[in-house]
């Protein structure tokens, strides 16, 4: 087994990234690496099966937003951060209007 390779990317000297910024950068770079170097490619077998069965399959990167309050959980996905937050806003507002606390 070969050693894991790690790429370091220097940030500008004046950069003060928050934890959210660091998570965003790491996730973005992991997505790029996943697209460029697909790894074990187990997903291709699933894709071929779905296509044989007549499914039209599309895969893309998404933003995922999760809102928790006590035991309540709402989730939304979108192609952009704004889209995901708009969807979670609509979902949580609808839950409040329907009599949920």
Q: Using CA atoms, how far apart are residues 3 and 88, in angstroms rounded to an integer?
A: 41
Confidence of residue 14 (pLDDT cuts 50, 70, 90): very high
- 63 backbone dihedrals φ, ψ, rounded to 5°: -90, 140
Give percent above pLDDT 70 in the chain: 92
**pLDDT, position 100:** 57
Convert the pLDDT of each residue in 66-80 to its tens digit. Answer: 999 999 899 999 988
Query: Which of 67, 68, 70, 69 has its CA nearest to residue 88?
Result: 67
Confidence of residue 99 (pLDDT cuts 50, 70, 90): low
- Look over the chain and give the mean of its residue pLDDT values, rounded to a whole number: 86
Q: What is the mean pLDDT of residues 78-95?
A: 90
């Amino acid at each position: 087994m070969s050693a894991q390779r790690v790429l370091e990317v220097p940030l500008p000297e004046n950069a003060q990234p928050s934890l959210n910024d660091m998570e965003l950068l790491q996730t973005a770079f992991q997505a790029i690496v996943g697209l460029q170097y697909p790894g074990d490619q187990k997903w291709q077998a699933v894709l071929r099966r779905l296509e044989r069965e007549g499914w039209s399959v599309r895969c893309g990167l998404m933003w995922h937003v999760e809102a928790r309050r006590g035991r309540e959980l709402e989730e939304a996905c979108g192609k952009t951060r704004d889209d995901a937050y708009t969807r979670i806003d609509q979902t949580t507002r609808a839950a409040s209007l329907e009599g949920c606390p």
